[in-house]
Amino acid sequence: MKNPLYFASSSKVWSSPEWVYGIEECGYDGWEISADGNYRLDNPDAFAKITEIIETTRLAVSVHAPFTDLNIGSLNDPIYRESIRQMQLCVTKAADITDIVTIHPGYVSPHGRLVPGKVWNLHKEALREIGATGIDTGVRVCLENMPKIPDFLCMEADEHYGMIEGVDGIYATVDLGHANTTGQVETYLDRIETATHMHIHDNHGGSDEHLALGGGTIDWEDAGRRISAAYTGICVVEGRNIEEAAVSRDVFRRCFS
């Protein structure tokens, strides 16, 4: 099986880290750290615990940058600058443990809807700054497509790829669960060779449920075949708990080869 399989759970960001040992016991190759809550990389105590887990398991790691209350598309300059700073800091800290970090795009505020071109340009500039940090630290910074939530940027593939086009140091994380909520699964699978990183989870197409693979409406036999044929990177199951991680693992092993 050529695609390494990692597990992540943003629902665990306030939990103590012992749960992570279950990822290895479940047969996963790695852990994608949701670097928020108790897992912020700029918190020395949290980083020490993360390092201890890495050193006492065989798990490889990737990182998902914090996104709570951040917006790299904000027209409020202090919020905009702080959002960029926190993502750059995460990339810099992550360089000690991984070479790949996923970031969320920003969203459009009510006043931003009046000047969409300005928001687009600010967002592009934010990515240039974050991408430059990635280049300096040897980290591939990957922008993720978003689920169907009003005012988020990058909900559709054309906008997602258009946002990173021409921006050095920024790549694509393709989230198939998110794509299912926007009717974009086929669109992303048709260009899956352009993905650098991938998140997989399931839903019924209406909301971002983060179900185990097979629990929603995504055709994993078709997706797994097409992904395995054209994509050589990491697949990260974004789930809710270790029990569902085992279910996703079994579907992955059956459908991805």
Handedness of CA 189, 134, 60, 237 (dihedral sign): negative
* pTM for this entry: 0.97
Mean pLDDT estimate for the chain: 97
Q: Is 70 helix (H, G, I), strand (E, B) or coil?
A: coil
In whole angstroms, what separates CA 40 from the centre of its chain? 15
Mean pLDDT of 68-76: 97
State the pLDDT confidence band at 2, using cuts at 50, 70 and 90. confident
Query: What is the set of domains in the chain, with CATH numbers?
Result: 5-255 (3.20.20.150)
pLDDT in tens, 220-245: 999 999 999 999 999 999 999 999 99
